[in-house]
Amino acid sequence: MCAYKKTALYPSGNPNGSVAFSDDLTEPSELVEVTIEAVQWVAYIQGIWRDRHGKEREGAMHGHTHGDPAVSFRLEEGEWISQVDGWYGKYIDYLKFTTNKGNYKEWGTPGGGGNTAFSVEGRINGFYGFAEGSLDGIGFFHPY
Higher pLDDT: 117 or 24? It is 117
CB 24 within 8 A of CB 125: no
The residue-averaged pLDDT of 30-58 equals 95
Given a contact cutoff of 8 angstroms between Cβ atoms, the answer to whether 39 and 66 are in contact is yes
Res 114 pLDDT > 50: yes
Domain spans in the chain, listed from the N-terminal domain onward: 4-143
Question: What is the pLDDT confidence band of residue 1, given thresholds at 50, 70 and 90?
Answer: very low
Higher pLDDT, 74 or 4: 74
The answer as to CATH 2.100.10.30 being correct for domain 4-143 is: yes
